[in-house]
Amino acid sequence: MKIAIVIFCKNTNSLSISTLNEIIKASKLNNKFKISLFFVDDGSSDDTINYLKKAILIANEKLKTKNYIVENKKSYGLADCILNATPYVYSAGFKPKDIIMQLPGNDQVSYKSILALMSNSNPYTLVTSNRSNIEVRPIPKRIASNIMHFIVHKFIFSDIKQVTSNYTCSVEFANKWIRKKSRHAFGLWLIHGAKKDKLIIKNISITLKSKPKYLGKNTSVRKWPKISDSFYFLLDMAIIIRMQKIDKITQS
């Protein structure tokens, strides 16, 4: 089975190499997948692109596959990065039912967690991650996330433990349900799409690294979510609620 891993990188510098090393460790423990990597440089303002070029050379040698860099001249945000990578995924020979997986490029996720995401994947399942040690995230961001999760669980997906940006699903499904401009809210659309398409939804617990090696103010790690991210999140949530109401009316 083939799996395309889309890696979101913005000012990640050498952390992209560390992320790659975790993927390589996971691939050695689960060799049923033929893995290709798609590093998306989301308008980085530092030396990230040169580190990604080094990462590609390492990946080509260690994974024995062809790997890719998608370079955005400006920052588009997480959801658009996944969409921008999809044509490259198809052109690399991936079929609609092959697996696509999203990971952050700033060395947050351990190889054990990557292995867990891979091991729970098939084309008819949406795998989302419940981050088991969120204490590594800044307190203000945790507060904002908890508020957002409460709203989501209260009004939309009460049966899903957590909606995060890490997932695996089929290439066709990801392309169909990720909406442009949804920013970090695209996890909502994946869950909504899985319910609409009657896919199995698995929520597994992943472990973040206990001491992420953030490189300072130039990385994409922020204490507070951007106001625009919060706006798109709430807008998408309102649209999904509206769609669900229409579905109920139609079914009745």
How many structural domains are present in the chain? 1
Name 63's Cβ contacts closer than 8 Å, sequence gap at least 6: 24, 27, 35, 36, 37
Mean pLDDT of 194-203: 93
Least confident of 6-20, 47-61, 141-155: 141-155
Continuous H helices in 101-222: 111-119, 139-155, 171-177, 186-196
pLDDT tens-digit map of 10-31 = 888 888 999 999 999 999 999 8
- Look at 150 and 36; give whichever has higher pLDDT: 36
Residue 187: closest CA among 97, 89, 72, 102: 102
Using DSSP, state whether 153 is helix, strand or coil: helix
pLDDT at site 19: 94
CATH of the domain at 203: 3.90.550.10
Do 180 and 79 form a contact (C-beta atoms < 8 A)? yes
pLDDT at site 199: 94
Bridging pattern class, strands 167-170 and 125-131: antiparallel
- Is residue 248 over pLDDT 60? yes
pLDDT at site 216: 47
Residue 151: closest CA among 243, 249, 240: 240
Query: Which pLDDT band, with edges at 50, 70 and 90, does 225 fall under?
Result: low
Structural domain of residue 107, as residue ranges? Answer: 2-251
- Look at 32 and 135; give whichever has higher pLDDT: 32
SS3 string, 207-249, reads CECCCCCCCCCCCCCCCCCCHHHHHHHHHHHHHHHHHHHHHHH
CA distance 157 to 203: 13
